[in-house]
Amino acid sequence: MAGTDKQRALITEGPAVILVEPQLGENIGMVARAMANFGLSELRLVNPRDGWPSEKARSAASKADHVIDGAVVFDTLEEAIADLNFVFATTARERDGFKTVRGPVEAAGALRKRFAAGEKCGVLYGRERWGLNNEEVGLADEIVTFPVNPAFASLNIAQAVLLMSYEWMKTGLAGDSETQFSQPEMQPATKADLQGLFDHVEEALDARGYFRPPHKKPKMIDNLRAVLSRPGFFRPEIRLLRGVIRSLDLYSRQAPKGSGAPEAGDAGAGKEVEH
């Protein structure tokens, strides 16, 4: 329902994303969307081929309007990075030179430390067709490259931005396993809860004529108990199952007795259950 959704704070921080001569507005828009997904907001464009602003970019951004509206266009890469203290260049190709090469996890961690220290940082991404040239890489402090298939190493620009943005977001979490939301807190079921469930099931099945032939009833009950007594149930789950059984009880009072019992040869009809 409209108006009942929880309002969540919009994260807008982190290193600048610098696109060098991006060709298609759609690609810029998808970059903006990836940035917004992971809390980045500062987009810098160096000489975009089709000009700026771009309605195609806005459409592809899927409501990441704050990134699109804040994008700044520069004529040269030197101007785009002039106010930054530290810059990574992304590339999938080995380069000649003496620059440190890092993977995305290590690079994101380094960016987070610099960001926390008050430094302004950025990450360079090259053209869709052939990336950054050597001179452009030379303007960066270090290189970040992704662990991709060597025989198919080319990433589109939005994919590359998304991968790096994801690693950036992870560095701001308390741990690698932290998520933005989790399952509701539920009280684990007690043994009494489980026994109550089993008694309810047994009573309902007995009334339905399930335990046939009678001499196999003890083994069938053992099998049912083995299934229903496994640990891991929560109390709300027990209540749900018992609600289902109560609903079926209404039907069982009207159905012919024995019509729900297993046929000879059916799985579970008194057979041993492997543990």
Annotated domain spans of the chain: 16-171, 183-275
Note if the pTM is more than 0.75.
Answer: no
For the chain, list the strands marked E by DSSP. 16-20, 43-46, 72-74, 86-90, 101-102, 121-125, 142-144
Q: Write out pLDDT tens, residues 50-90.
A: 999 999 999 999 999 999 999 999 999 999 999 999 999 99
**CA diameter of the chain:** 88
Q: Write out pLDDT tens, residues 151-179.
A: 787 889 999 999 999 999 999 876 655 55
CATH number of 16-171: 3.40.1280.10
Query: pLDDT at position 104, please?
Result: 94
**Sign of the CA dihedral running 164, 90, 153, 72:** positive
Residue at token pair 């000879």: 264
Amino acid letter, 53: P
My answer on whether omega of the bond before 218 falls inside 30° of 0, hence cis, is no
For the cut 70, the answer to whether the pLDDT of residue 100 exceeds it is yes
